[in-house]
Structure 1
Amino acid sequence: MDLDLRQLRYFVAVAEELHFGRAAERLHIAQPVLSRQIRSLEDELGASVFDRDRRGTVLTPAGRQLLEDAVPLLASAEALRRRVSAAAQGAPTLTVGFMPGLVVTPATAAFTARRPGVNVRLLRTSWDDQVEVLVDGRADIGIVRLPIDRRGLQVRPLFQEPRVVMLPVGHRLAGNASVTVGDLASEHLLQDPDAVPEWRDVAVELREGRRREVPAIHQVEEKLELVASGAGVCVLPLSTATFYTRPDVVPLPVADIGPNEVALAWVSSRRSPLVHDFVEAAAETLSRPGGRFPFPQ
C-alpha cells in the first residue's frame, strides 16, 4: 500500500478541526472534494477514521492512531523536501536553531574552523517550536532548553544554569535579595505551569482551581511586557533574563527552584557528518568553563 501524502494532509486538517467545512476552507478546496479524498483514504486503509453524524465529527480509534503517526510522517516528508532543496543550492548548509538568550558564536566559530566551506545559518526558536523546527527540517540541529519531547531525537546535555523570577519593578518582593517558591505561590504565572513544576506544586491558584487564563505568548519580549504591566510574573533562565535587561522589570534568584538545562538536539535518524561535527564543536566550546555563555552565575 502506497499512502498518498496529500490525503494524509487532508486527513490531519479534518482531524485537527473536527469539521469538514472548516478543514476545506483551511485547505482551500471544496468540501465535496475533501470528503471524497477522505473516503478514498479510508478505502486504502481498510478502516474508518472518522465517525460522522448530525452531532459532529469525531476520530475513531483507527483515526486516532493515524493522526499520531501521520503528523511526524508529514513532518519528515517536509524535512526531506527542505534538505533536497538546500542541497540543490550548491554549497553545503547547516542550520542551527537556538533559544533566546543563548549565544552560539563559540560553537559556530569552532565548527566553521573545521568546515570552512559550509554555510552556517541561525534560526531563533521558542519554547513552542524548538523541537518542531528539527522534525520538519527547518533546522539541522538545535541548542534547546529542556524539557522537550525527546521522541525521535538524540539529545546531548551541555550545561545547567540558574533560573530567576521576573517581577515588575514596583512589586512587593522586588526589593528582596532572593525569593522562594512559597513567596510566589499566589502570583499569576505567565507560562505553562508544567515549565515550572516547583511553582505548580504549591501554587494557591492551581490548588483552588482559580488560575486565570494565560494569553498566547510567542516571544520573550511579549512576556516581559506583561510582567512590566503587572499582569503576572514569569520564570526565565538567567542568560535570557540578562540578555533582555530592562529598567521596569527586576530579576530575582529563586532559592528553591531547579536550574534550566541546555542541550543539543537533532533527529536520531540523521547521519549527517555536518551534524556530527557541530555536536563536537558545540560540546567542546559550550560545556567547558569559560566557553559557556558570558553571563554571571
Structure 2
Amino acid sequence: MTSTIGFIGLGIMGSPMAGHLAAAGHRVTGYDVASEALDTLVADGGIAASSVAEAVEGADVVITMLPDHPQVEQVVLGEGGVLATARKEALLIDMSTIRPETSIELAAAAKHKGVRVIDAPVSGGQTGAREAALSIMVGGDDADVAAAMPVLRLMGTTVVHVGPHGAGQVVKAANQLVVGGIYALVGEAIVLMEQSGVDAATGLDVLAGGLAANRILDLKRATMVARQFAPGFRIDLHHKDMGIATAAARQAGVSLPMTGLVAQLVASAKAMGHGSLDHSALLKVTEQLSGVD
C-alpha cells in the first residue's frame, strides 16, 4: 500500500532517503530550507513544499531528518509545525539523532494531539542512505513501530525495534561512541605504521582480513590513507552526537572513560577547524598531536 508522506529535512542523508520512498510509489511531499534540495526531490519524483505545514498537511506519515534537537523541537512543536498541522492518527517518524529525553518529550506532546510518534535514528552515513542500506534503531510502542516498518524497510536493511520511546536514541548514542572510537584507532594505526616506515595501505589490508576487521576499514581505509575527507558525516555532527552519548552516560549513572576520551578527540578536531570534514578526519588530530606534517 502506498502512503502520503511528508518529509522534513532533505540534507545529505534525507535527500536520498526521500528519493527511495518516492521511487517506491509513495506520494512524498518534502520541505527543506535549501531550495536545491527541493529541486532534487522533484527530480526524484517527489513534490516540493513551501513550508513545514504544507508538507505535513494530510500526510499519513511524517518523517523528520534534522541536525539536532532544537531543529526537531521547532519543526514538531513550533507554530505551523508538525503537531499543529498533522491529522489525528498520523505517524511521526523522527529519524534525527537527538537526546533520548527529547524523543520522550515529543512522544508525550504528540499523544495529546492524537499523533503517534516513534524515534528511528539511523547509522550508515551518506553511502547507507544512498544505497537504502541504513541500520535503523527504533523506539516506540509496538503497534506504531509495526505500522512504520514498511516505510522504514525502504530505507534500511537492518531495522530493529529496540525498546520504548527514546530507546532508539540510546542505541544510536552507543553506535556513535563505537564509530568514533574505531575512527580514532584506525587513525592512530595509520600514523604508527607510516612513521615506522611501513606502507599503511598494505598494513590496513592485513588488518581488514583479521580480528581487527570492521566496517570502517572496509569503507574508509583507502580514503583515510589518501587524506580524502569529503564529508559523508561531518565532525560537527559527530561532536554533537558525542555530547548526547556523554549526557546519556550521566543520566544512566555509568562511567564510560573511553567515550570521554573519544569525545575530547572529536572536540579537538572541531576546535582545529575540521568540523566540516568527514569524521575520518580524526586522523588529523593524531597527526597534529604527534607533530606529523
With the length of structure 1 as denominator, give the TM-score of the two structures: 0.28
Q: Which has the higher helix share?
A: 2
Tell me which structure has the larger Cα radius of gyration: 1
Structure with the bigger RCO (C-alpha within 8 Å, sep 6+) is 1
Q: Which has the higher strand share?
A: 1
With the length of structure 2 as denominator, give the TM-score of the two structures: 0.28
